[in-house]
Amino acid sequence: MKKILLIICALVLTVSAQAQQVKYTVKGVSKENGKMVYLEDRLTSKLVDSTLVAKGKFVFKGVADKDAILAITFDKDDWRSWRTLFFNDGKPVSVNMNDSTLKGSPLNERLSYYNIEIMGMPSDHDSRHRSEMVMKMFKEERETLLPAALIVEGQRTFRTKELLNILEEKPVYAEHPYVKQYEKKLKRMATTKLVGRSGRSDEQKAADKVVKNAFIGQQFTDFEMADTLGTMHKLSEYVGNGHWLFVDFWASWCGPCLVEMPHVVAAYEKFHDKGLEIVGVSLDSQKKLWVKAIASLNMPWAHLSDLKGWDSLVTKIYKINSIPDNLLIDPQGKIVARGLRDEALHEKLKEVLEE
């Protein structure tokens, strides 16, 4: 009898587990023939499935947790690369990887809309627009799971304590496992006095500043990267010849960089004829986003990148842990300033170029 009861219990558990699983069917189109495309689970960060794009199409079929947040991407190793998100609600999904649009259940179509509006090309949507869209989503989707998929953007908009207060009000999405997991991280951040979007303490930021300032007064360190056409260039090619060189570390996905860029453009327009050159060094990982941002932001100077994101060579050479960041190098190759922003940039350039 005891053995029978154990068997029955095992069957009940098995049925229960199976009840939490639903089938997914994803049909996609892409111009990237022959390229591998991946399906990930956002909660576990594990690979769920993978396949090749063939004749402009690909298909995923399988089983995953009900309402799991799944992500389709071409670059599984770079978390900053674009991901098309959807909830595994049992409804078929059609995705166009050429423009990141998605068709499926009403919930997933709204998620696609917000994902593009909030995470899309920075040249199309400035940081204020993103914040407005995040606030709109969290307000209008309280009774759905939708904000769970973009909870990280919620933290960047509302900041840690405010988002924790929102979650304490128990909106529907607060019960999603992905949010539950992220909530634990938020609580750790709140209790360890982490501040700002970078999640670094005041002490850490002070230490970072000391390290970065240590480069001032030193000769620049050379490096080599490709331009947008794939041609390799050394930084030393742009140093000297009577010019002052402003090396701008940025990325198309960096909101603060986009806010700062008009000041850099204005500085170039004002001081280029007086001896200023600029080299943009991007921490992008996707070439098409990098190139499109350059054109959209009207950045007429030289651009370099190894397309390795935060693993870029320059982050190690110049101890870069946040962007925007920059170096001002004199005609002799000496770094004379770092981290110039807004009016400080214009004032310093006026000082050295209008003596």
Residue 211 lies in a domain: yes
Could you report the per-residue pLDDT of 73-122, keeping only the tens digit for each?
Answer: 998 776 657 899 999 999 999 999 999 999 999 999 999 999 988 887 44
Q: Where are the beta strands (DSSP E) in the chain?
A: 21-29, 36-41, 46-52, 57-65, 69-73, 84-87, 93-96, 101-103, 224-226, 232-234, 244-250, 276-282, 302-304, 325-329, 335-338
Q: What is the 3-state secondary structure (H, E, C) of 261-307?
A: HHHHHHHHHHHHHHCEEEEEEECCCCHHHHHHHHHHCCCCCEEEECC
On the question of pLDDT at 191 being above 90, the answer is no
Does this model's pTM top 0.75? no
125 pLDDT band (50/70/90 cuts)?
Answer: very low
pLDDT above 70 covers a percentage of the chain that reads 84
- Report yes or no on 57 lying in a domain: yes
| pLDDT at residue 152, as a whole number | 86
pLDDT above 50 (res 9): no
**Alpha carbon distances (Å) from 141 to 107, 111, 122, 133:** 10, 10, 24, 12
Does residue 281 form part of some domain?
yes
Interior/surface letters 159-188, b for 16+ CB within 10 angstroms, e for the rest: bbeebbebbeeebebbebebbeebbeebee
Same domain (yes/no): 210, 87: no
Which residue from 32, 67, 31, 68 is spatially nearest to 48, judged by alpha carbons?
A: 68
Last residue of a domain, one of 102, 121, 147: 102
CA 293 to CA 159: how far, in whole Å? 27
Average of per-residue pLDDT values in the chain:
85
Please give the Cα distance from 269 to 282 (Å, whole number): 21
CATH number at residue 339: 3.40.30.10
Average pLDDT over residues 326-339: 94
So what's the pLDDT on residue 354? 79
The pLDDT of residue 49 is above 90: yes
Longest Cα–Cα distance in the chain: 97
Which of these three, 48, 82, 102, is where a domain ends?
102
Residue 275, domain member (yes or no): yes
- Residue 70: give its domain's CATH number: 2.60.40.2190
For residue 127, name the pLDDT band (cuts at 50, 70, 90). low
Q: Which of 102, 137, 160 is the last residue of a domain?
A: 102
299 found inside a domain:
yes
**pLDDT of 214 higher than 50:** yes
Overall domain count for the chain: 2
Does residue 129 belong to any structural domain of this protein? no
Do 96 and 213 fall into the same domain? no
Q: Do the beta carbons of residue 179 and residue 173 sit within 8 Å?
A: yes
Task: Indicate the pLDDT class of residue 247, thresholds 50, 70 and 90.
Answer: very high
pLDDT at 121: 46
Using one digit for the tens of pLDDT, what is the confidence trace for 130-172? 778 889 999 999 999 999 999 988 887 787 788 899 999 999 9
- Per the structure block, which two tokens stand in for 342? 């807004």
- Do 347 and 227 belong together in one domain? yes
Residues 6+ apart with CB under 8 A from 150: 85, 114, 115, 118, 119, 134, 137
Q: Does 283 map to a domain?
A: yes
81 in a structural domain: yes
Whether the upstream peptide bond of residue 324 has omega within 30° of 0, thus cis, is yes
Domain range for 94: 21-102
